[in-house]
Amino acid sequence: MRHVAALVWKDVLVEARSRELVAGTAVFALLVLLVFSFSFDLRGPQAQAAVPGMLWVTVLFAAMLGMTRTFQSELESGALDGLLASPVDRGTLYLGKLVANLIFALAVALLVLLAAGLVFNAATIGAGPLAVVALGTVGIVAVTTVLAAATVRSRARELLLPLLAVPLLVPVVIGGVEELALALAVATETATRPPWPGLLAAFDVIFVAAGYLVFEFVIEE
Amino acid sequence: MEALGLGRRFGTQVALRDVTLRVGWGERVAVLGPNGAGKSTLLRILGTLAPPSSGELHIAGLSPRHDRARIRRRLGIVAHQTYLFDALTALENLLFYGQLYDVPRARQRAAELLERMGLAARADTRVRQLSRGMQQRLALARALLHEPDILLLDEPDTGLDQDGQAILAAVVREHADRTVVLTTHHVERAVALCDRAVVLDRGRLVRDSRVDDRGSDAVRALSLVAAGGG
């Protein structure tokens, strides 16, 4: 736990000083939201049904963009080898990176919710939407952190990461959109509806555990 | 440290071929050779940062396959890259690595090392604002932080000025029971610092000899072999 805290502290401090990841990703996310708002006529209740989908696409794209950078600067500076040369267990390195990435991704997701509320005139700020976005973001970060490590030494990493991550994240997007629609009151509960919050939580647990176990094999040369 | 028949391939490229090297406790071994000879690859394998494609490696009786964490705790590595985080200060870098290596009284140890490396006045300077030579001194401090019994130094004199080289020489010589393996292009420095020199050429170990004679003839003869001419 002490090692995880040290790794998170280091990443937060580096980000606070370089402002590469969160600032760049947040601006990108806001631009995507603006493109959606220019592209669709969002007046009327039918159009509001598209808001959860647009929101998740924005969060997913922003996460992809941010995660390609997550190990890249450490690889370029050689600091990644410094981490790998240390006796710290690889699963712990994964948890440290996961928690730091989660802090950054949740900050961006919160900004997206705020901006979406203004742009789409939707009630995006509330316990329901926040909980759904947090649940989905954990899954997205759990998957992309492992895949970012797996692809960081590849020259085509910017392309490879979304190609590998998006198919794996389809359940998160479907569940996230369905549940967010409910939280935003643009959909109603039905008897046949799958228990999405439970499924999203299960996805999170499975992928965090899988990431912890496989990280050694993807990060080592 | 015992490497038996180490080989390393990168696709069709062979970086190391059947290298056998035994290094005893307290021995100081220089690895010489021209560019592309496989020196850095050998050090990465010894540092457990890359697995060999073939052969066996044991460090302090431990196998990197099963005891990587225990081996890593005993290694101090200085590589081409400094392993430092540019956005953190010199002191923050040492404190961070101190936590990863569970160094007791890490702040005190970091302060001592910064003083020794002549960086005490730069403790709160971010790494990206330090010169290359200062970064290299800090990399040396990082490698010594957890008091390793084996030092792996890959061209550790890169960017170091006269004072920095004197510090490096003192570090290499200071503990009689600390094992040091260092790569360098400077044969004179290798002869001055080490008890033994091995020469790699195109991935093969072509010479392994004790450095008893530190005179200019010995340096010249070793230079010839290390340049791939002998």
Residue ranges covered by each domain of chain A: 2-218
Contact: B81, A77; criterion CB under 8 Å: yes
Q: Chain A closest CA to B11's CA: distance in Å?
A: 14
Task: Indicate which of A4, A21, A74, A86 best probes the interface with B, i.e. most B CBs within 10 Å of its own CB.
Answer: A86
The model's pTM: 0.88
H/E stretch holding B4 reads strand B2-10
Residue A76 identity (one-letter amino acid)? E
Q: Best interface-test mutation with B: which of A8, A15, A81 has the largest number of B CBs within 10 A?
A: A81
Is pLDDT above 90 for B73?
yes
The answer to whether the Cβ–Cβ distance between B85 and A10 falls below 8 Å is: yes
The whole-chain average pLDDT of chain A stands at 88
Q: Using alpha carbons only, give the angle B51, B53, B59 rounded to the nearest 5 degrees.
A: 45
**% of chain B at pLDDT higher than 90:** 54
Residue B125 burial by CB count (10 A; 0-12/13-18/19+): exposed, middle or buried? Answer: middle
pLDDT of residue B214: 60
Q: In what order do the strands lie in the sheet with B28-32?
A: B75-78, B150-154, B179-183, B28-32, B196-201, B204-210
Mean pLDDT in residue range B65-69: 89
Distance from CA of B214 to the nearest CA of A (A): 34
Question: Is 70 exceeded by the pLDDT of residue B152?
Answer: yes
The pLDDT value recorded for residue A183 is: 80
Sign of the Cα torsion B172, B177, B182, B187 reads positive
Residue found under tokens 């330090």: B130
d(CA B159, CA A219): 30
Does B15 have pLDDT greater than 70? yes
Q: Is the dihedral of CA B122, B125, B126, B132 positive or negative?
A: negative
Pair of tokens at residue B18 = 């059947």
Task: Nearest by CB to B50, from A2, A6, A221: name it.
Answer: A221
Mean pLDDT of B198-226: 74
Model confidence at A157, pLDDT cuts 50, 70, 90, reads confident
| Residues β-bridged to residue B6 | B19
Helices then strands, counting H and E runs in chain A, come out as 10, 0
A1, pLDDT greater than 80: yes
**Beta carbons of A77 and B84 less than 8 Å apart:** yes
At B161 the pLDDT is 86
Interface residue ranges in chain A relative to chain B, Cβ cutoff 8 Å: 2-3, 6, 9-10, 13-14, 17-18, 74, 77-79, 81-89, 220-221
Q: Average of pLDDT values for B138-154?
A: 94
Nearest by CB: B73 against A77, A83, A87 = A87
Residue B34, pLDDT above cutoff 90: no
Among the partner residues B75, B79, B96, nearest to A81 by beta-carbon distance:
B79
What torsion do the CA atoms of B140, B146, B149, B152 make, to the nearest 10 degrees? -30
Contact predicate B95/B110, CB 8 Å = yes
Which residue in A3, A9, A85 is closest to B77 by CB distance?
A: A85
